[in-house]
Structure 1
Amino acid sequence: MILTNCAACAAPLAHDAPRCVRCKTRYCNATCQHDHWRRGHKQICKRIHRGGNAEHYHADKKYKEAVAVAVEACADDTKGQTCFICTQALHWKTKEGLVRGCACRGTAGVAHVSCLAEQAKILVAEVEENNLGFDALNGRFERWHTCSLCEQYYHGVVRCALGWACWKTYLSRPETDSSRHLAMQQLGNGLHNAKRHEEALSVQEAELAMMRRLGDSEFNILIAQNNLAGTYQVVGRAEEASNMFRDIYSGRSKLVGEDHPKTLLAACNYADNLRGLGRFEEAKSLLRKTIPVARRVLGENNDITLSIRSVYAQALCTDDSATLDDLREAVTTLEETARTARRVLGGAHPLTLNIEGCLRYTRAALRARETPSPGNA
């Protein structure tokens, strides 16, 4: 149900909206369906049906586009290298080029999106065929978003291409199927990672509506809300994001405890939102409580710990009432986290780039405060 808008008028669709009998293209009513038929759907209906019907046709088209974008973006980094899975430069079947969007460096981590997808499909299929349960499925499903070599998330356009690969693999399953639900989640996160936020929003809203309609667990609904709140924040719906982040943090604290990784991530997201709204004291208070817990539970090298410390430094330096000591503490914190992020995640990782950008800004702010103006010299 990723095609969430009417093909004729683009209005949002209900989950049980009427469909074309042959190709399953969805419409808000019969009038729109008849109008779309006259305006050209008649010519492509058979083609869409042969492509696996509307959702498959759409997902396959989006997947190919996303792979092309990812290959082009990674071209300089993968030039002259081969896939670590199939050992070829060009994929034998699709003829696609190579990508790398994780923390691997040198010759490691270079692969075809198709090879990464095939590897993930095989691992998930083993769990399903042997009825190993949801925990095992969830663990194997990490291959759709995490590198098997460096064990870090894929990011950017590579994450987006894998999201589409995952969705087109499982979309034909029933809504109640666990793999289909996880695939929808991967697609939403992939689109968000590639900064395709409006598309991510439609997927994430559809996912949350589906979970509520099916009566999913509170834990899973909080995960979906967290992903959606992040997109709300990016598209400028800050107050909606703030209310949702607050409820997520509160809900996770009660459900799994304050030292659970999901709760620590929720605290980081909520604090960053508070900082963006100018509520610096609330943000700093929450982060001062969270940082020692994250260091103890996750360790200094974990990306959540690095994010929490980075957000704390940003809250210190962007507060209009920041003292000279605040700025110095922010610079020291960002210098430490930048070194760790570069060592663990690599210089091209979005978190590393974000921390280093914040460090440049904070150093400049500190220099401006430390250097007396000519009139006060």
Structure 2
Amino acid sequence: MILTNCAACAAPLAHNAPRCIRCHTRYCNKTCQHDHWRRGHKQMCKKIHRGGNAEQYHADKKYKEAVAEAVEACAEDTKGQTCFICTQALHWKTKEGLVRGCACRGTAGFAHVSCLAEQAKILMDEAEENNLGEKARIERWMRWDFCGLCQQYYHGVVACALGWACWKTYVGRPEDSVRCLAMNLLGNGLHDAKHHEEALPVREAMLATIRRSGGIEVSILDAQNNLANTYGALGRFEEALRMRRDVYSGHLKLHCEEHQRTIMAANNYAMSLVKLERFQEAKSLLIKMMPVARRVLGEGHELTLKMRFNYARALYLDTDATLDDLREAVTTLECVARTYKRVFGKSHPEARRVQGGMEEARAKLAARDVVL
């Protein structure tokens, strides 16, 4: 359930809260329902019902808003281009414009969100109809947030629009694995577009759903990790740190330190330590895990690059940093920045973040050289 607040008083709701018989809008109790009916729901109830009931109506509305935001953000980049799927500038049905939110270069990668969503849905429908194995289903599912051309994830407002596209497609399903995947994709998209207040109830609903349905431990840890990311984005750093520490410990118990989930959890834990200025703890953890990431994932893997970026931040943000620390931070960031630009393109959000960190580290090194 993504509509997690009472339509009348906005109080948080349980997953089985009472709802309108016709349109399934949820409320705290009958009092709120009657109050909302008098304040205008009477006029909207039939319209919401015709739109597929409350969750579907809400998802469709948010999807249109997200697509409009993505098209506007990409307008300058997509001017004069056509969709690589339908070959049109405007979508024949929705009349929406083009987006590009991956690492494609030149004239490649331009598409309508509707075309990307339809392509992903067809692939998943085929996987379910033909009872394909788990590996094939995962590969097809990834097309909801992974570019088939450049083999990189969509980011920013494009990822958010695809998240809403995915959720509106599967919102009507029971609480099965596909519906949970759609909810997770929506949370990731909202987070990537920096809509953190909207992402929070989605993350919380995802974790509650997995626990309620008896999900496996690794799924619970993944949901906790995503929730911790949103806590951190909202400035709730202590809560994020505690949850990320537990997630890291959980993955160490379930897997070895060379498992990708463990490496990711270690990086997230270190990121929280840096945010709370616990630099020595962050450096110790990253010095231990960076060689593991290089060995398991490779030097150019995004997670390896993120670990190196966080290590450099732990060096140059520390007020007790030595001159050698600052030099090492600058050297590390210069290397990471070059790799990001080569692999993901200079417009990728992480590439811009690394560039900003590099400039900050260089400024601190230059200031120290002046003093000396």
Give matches, 1:39-50, under 5 Å.
39-50=39-50
Q: Secondary structure at the match of 2:340?
A: helix
1:180 and 1:372 map into 2 onto residues whose CA distance is 58
Give the equivalent residue in structure 2 for 1:220. 219
Letter in 2 for 1:118: E
Q: Secondary structure at the match of 1:154?
A: coil
Q: Secondary structure at the match of 1:74?
A: helix
Give the equivalent residue in structure 1 for 2:206. 207
Alignment pair present for 1:297 and 2:289: no
Give the equivalent residue in structure 1 for 2:252. 253
* Range with greater deviation from structure 2 (82-91 or 136-145): 136-145
Give the equivalent residue in structure 2 for 1:34. 34
Alignment pair present for 1:116 and 2:123: no
Letter in 2 for 1:239: E
After TM superposition, give the deviation of residue 133 of structure 1 in Å. Answer: 3.8
Letter in 2 for 1:273: S
Compute the TM-score of the two structures, normalised by the length of structure 2. Answer: 0.99
After TM superposition, give the deviation of residue 139 of structure 1 in Å. Answer: 2.3
Task: Please give the per-residue CA displacement for 1:184-211, whole angstroms capped at 9, x wherever unaligned.
Answer: 0000010001111011000000110111
Aligned alpha-carbon RMSD (Å) = 0.9
After TM superposition, give the deviation of residue 372 of structure 1 in Å. Answer: 2.9
Task: Please give the per-residue CA displacement for 1:28-71, whole angstroms capped at 9, x wherever unaligned.
Answer: 10000000000000001000001010011000000000000000
After TM superposition, give the deviation of residue 134 of structure 1 in Å. Answer: 3.6
Task: Please give the per-residue CA displacement for 1:62-103, whole angstroms capped at 9, x wherever unaligned.
Answer: 000000000000001111111111111111111100000011
Task: Please give the per-residue CA displacement for 1:87-124, whole angstroms capped at 9, x wherever unaligned.
Answer: 11111111100000011121111100000001100111
Give the equivalent residue in structure 2 for 1:12. 12
Q: Secondary structure at the match of 2:272?
A: helix
List gaps (5 residues or longer) in structure 2: none
Letter in 1 for 2:60: D
1:140 and 1:219 map into 2 onto residues whose CA distance is 21
After TM superposition, give the deviation of residue 127 of structure 1 in Å. Answer: 1.2
Letter in 2 for 1:216: G
2:194 and 2:293 map into 1 onto residues whose CA distance is 27
Task: Please give the per-residue CA displacement for 1:328-349, whole angstroms capped at 9, x wherever unaligned.
Answer: 0000000000000011011111
Give the equivalent residue in structure 1 for 2:89. 89
Q: Secondary structure at the match of 2:100?
A: coil
Letter in 2 for 1:214: S
Letter in 1 for 2:314: A
Alignment pair present for 1:61 and 2:69: no
Give the equivalent residue in structure 2 for 1:229. 228
Alignment pair present for 1:104 and 2:73: no
1:40 and 1:337 map into 2 onto residues whose CA distance is 55
Paired residues, number: 372
Letter in 2 for 1:322: A
Give the equivalent residue in structure 1 for 2:273. 274
1:271 and 1:136 map into 2 onto residues whose CA distance is 33
Alignment pair present for 1:25 and 2:28: no
Letter in 2 for 1:321: D
Letter in 1 for 2:97: G
After TM superposition, give the deviation of residue 320 of structure 1 in Å. Answer: 1.1
Alignment pair present for 1:370 and 2:364: no
Give matches, 1:138-287, under 5 Å.
138-175=138-175, 177-287=176-286
* Range with greater deviation from structure 2 (255-264 or 220-229): 255-264
Letter in 2 for 1:244: M
Q: Secondary structure at the match of 2:14?
A: coil
1:3 and 1:135 map into 2 onto residues whose CA distance is 32
After TM superposition, give the deviation of residue 164 of structure 1 in Å. Answer: 0.2
After TM superposition, give the deviation of residue 301 of structure 1 in Å. Answer: 1.4
Task: Please give the per-residue CA displacement for 1:213-244, whole angstroms capped at 9, x wherever unaligned.
Answer: 11100011111111110000111111111011
After TM superposition, give the deviation of residue 135 of structure 1 in Å. Answer: 3.6
Give the equivalent residue in structure 1 for 2:356. 357
Letter in 2 for 1:106: G
After TM superposition, give the deviation of residue 140 of structure 1 in Å. Answer: 1.4
Alignment pair present for 1:322 and 2:313: no
